[in-house]
Amino acid sequence: MEEVKGRHKGFHKALFWTAGLFGLMVFLGGGFIGIIGLILMIVLSVQVWRNPPAFKGITLGTLTGIIWVVLIFACYIGSSFETKPVPKVAQVNNYNPPFAQPVLRRVVNQVAPPIVTKVIQVAPPIKKTLEDYVKESVIKHMGELHNMKKIPIYKGSEVADYAYQDAQGQDKIGKRVLAKYLLNENFSKGMMKDSLSIDGFDVFKDIYNNPECSEIQSLCLESHFWLQDVYGNDKEEAVSQLTMLRSTAQKINWPNFLWSNLPTLLENEGKYWVHPAFNK
């Protein structure tokens, strides 16, 4: 019988300390562990009530009260340590950190800056003169610099009024242009003479087929070259003049015309003059 009482006494002590251990788990864990501890503490308290252990100076009611105070305090403290899930924040396009709050800025009496318009003045295009068109054509076909002297080949031009009659016999006033240039050197005087007709044909064709040059009724191409005088000195002189009228140019079928026929044409309708030095 004494052995049975001793076993009951040891059993009750084990239950009591187990109840204390679960109270500690409630304190540290909380949450789901707290619920389990609550159930076990109730069961153990009932067992201790039915089979009270022998504690000197402590009555059964006092012991029960201490157990419940520890239980309630442990449940309260344990629940405060419960981890709550972080709410998910919807992400649109770029990543937004959790709990990010939009920053609102209040604009007070904000005045839009004045719009400054910058006016850029574009200079009107410079209208070309008749001399410009003639100069461009001469440089195009004869070059910008003399092939031996390496100086500008175009010497300038003169523009004057030119009286003529149109197809209906009406008196008109047009323009006569005299263009001066340097004749390039070649292997022989004959080849230099031919270049007068070849280059002259190209310039006449350009000018008389250009609507911007409709005022030109007479175009004279005057070439210059260095000739030796009787003392052996080189002197720049005019060595040719080829003049074509617009009335003559209007009769020419330019795609089929041969430059070799130009001297004959200009001798009859215009002017064709070459320095005698090129006829030797």
Mean pLDDT across 74-82:
56
Q: How far apart are CA 85 and CA 82, in angstroms?
A: 10
Q: Which of 2, 1, 6 is nearest to 53 (CA)?
A: 6
Name the residue ranges covered by the structural domains of the chain. Answer: 2-80, 130-278
Instruction: Choose among 64, 68, 76, 66: nearest CA to 26.
Output: 76
Higher pLDDT, 39 or 275: 275
pLDDT of residue 167: 83
For the entire predicted model, the pTM comes to 0.57
Identify the band that residue 123 occupies on the pLDDT scale cut at 50, 70 and 90: confident
pLDDT band at 45 (very low <50, low <70, confident <90, very high): low
β-bridge partners, 156: 180
The 10 Å Cβ neighbour count of residue 78 is 23
Indicate the DSSP class of residue 64: H
